[in-house]
Structure 1
Amino acid sequence: MRAIRLHAFGPAENLVHETLDDPTPGPGEVRIAVAAAGVHLLDTALRAGQEGGPAPLPELPTVPGREVAGTVDALGPGTDPSWLGRPVVAHLGMVPGGYAELAVTSADRLHPLPDGLDPAQAVAMIGTGRTTMGVLLCAALTADDLAIIPAAAGGIGSLLVQYGRHVGATVIGLAGGPAKVARARELGADLALDYTDANWPALARRYLDERGAPGATIVFDSVGGAPARAAVDLLARGGRHLVFGWSSGAPLTLPDAELAERGLTSETVLGPPMLARVGGINPLRTLETAALAEAAAGRLVPTVHRFPLAEAAAAHRALETRGTMGKVVLEP
Structure 2
Amino acid sequence: MQAAVVTQFGDPDVFTLSELPDPLPGPGQISINVSYAAVGLIDVYIRQGLYRDFPGLPQPPFVPGLEVAGTVRALGPGVRAFQVGQPVVTLSGTGADNGYASIAVVDAAMVADLSETEVDPAVAVAVVPNAATAYLALSRAAHLQPGERVLVHGALGGLASAFPGVARLLGAERVVGTVRGGVRPTALPYDRLVSSADLAAEVGNERFDVVVDPVGGQVRTDSLAVMAPMGRMLLVGNASGDWGHTVSTTGLWGSNLSLAGFAAGFYLPSHPEQVPLAVQAARRAIEQGLLDVRVEALPLARAAEAHRRLESGSVGGRIVLTP
Cα–Cα, structure 1 residues 189 and 55, in superposed 2: closer, same or farther, change >3 Å?
Answer: farther
Count residues with an aligned counterpart: 317
Q: Which amino acid aligns with 1:268?
A: G
For residue 294 of structure 1, what is the aligned residue in structure 2?
Answer: 284
Cα–Cα, structure 1 residues 161 and 75, in superposed 2: closer, same or farther, change >3 Å?
Answer: closer
For residue 173 of structure 2, what is the aligned residue in structure 1?
Answer: 169
Which protein is richer in helix relative to its size?
1
Contact kept, 8 Å, 1:120 with 1:304, in 2: the verdict is no
> Which of 211, 224, 229 is the aligned partner of 2:221?
229
Any idea what SS the aligned residue of 1:267 has?
strand
Contact kept, 8 Å, 2:110 with 2:272, in 1: the verdict is no
Shift of 1:299: 5.5
Q: Structure 1 vs Structure 2: percent identity of aligned residues? A: 32
Any idea what SS the aligned residue of 1:97 has?
coil
Q: Which runs of 5+ in 1 are unaligned?
A: none
Superposed, 1:192-203 pairs within 5 Å as 192-195=193-196, 198-203=197-202
Shift of 1:98: 0.9
Any idea what SS the aligned residue of 1:188 has?
coil
Shift of 1:176: 2.8
Cα–Cα, structure 1 residues 153 and 314, in superposed 2: closer, same or farther, change >3 Å?
Answer: same
- 2:209 is aligned with 1:217: yes
Provide the C-alpha distance between the structure 2 equivalents of 1:74 and 1:280, rounded to a whole number of angstroms. Answer: 24
Any idea what SS the aligned residue of 1:233 has?
helix
Any idea what SS the aligned residue of 1:187 has?
coil
Any idea what SS the aligned residue of 1:43 has?
helix
For residue 310 of structure 2, what is the aligned residue in structure 1?
Answer: 319
For residue 2 of structure 1, what is the aligned residue in structure 2?
Answer: 2
Shift of 1:77: 6.5
Larger Rg: 1
For residue 259 of structure 2, what is the aligned residue in structure 1?
Answer: 266
Shift of 1:317: 1.7
Provide the C-alpha distance between the structure 2 equivalents of 1:279 and 1:67, rounded to a whole number of angstroms. Answer: 14
Shift of 1:293: 3.1
Superposed, 1:1-332 pairs within 5 Å as 1-26=1-26, 29-51=29-51, 56-75=56-75, 80=80, 83-91=83-91, 93-113=94-114, 114-137=116-139, 138-166=141-169, 167-178=171-182, 181-183=184-186, 186-195=187-196, 198-205=197-204, 208=205, 213=206, 215-250=207-242, 253-270=246-263, 275=267, 282-283=272-273, 285-286=275-276, 288-295=278-285, 297-298=287-288, 300-301=290-291, 303-306=293-296, 307-332=298-323
RMSD: 3.1
What's the TM-score, normalizing by structure 2?
A: 0.84
Any idea what SS the aligned residue of 1:3 has?
strand
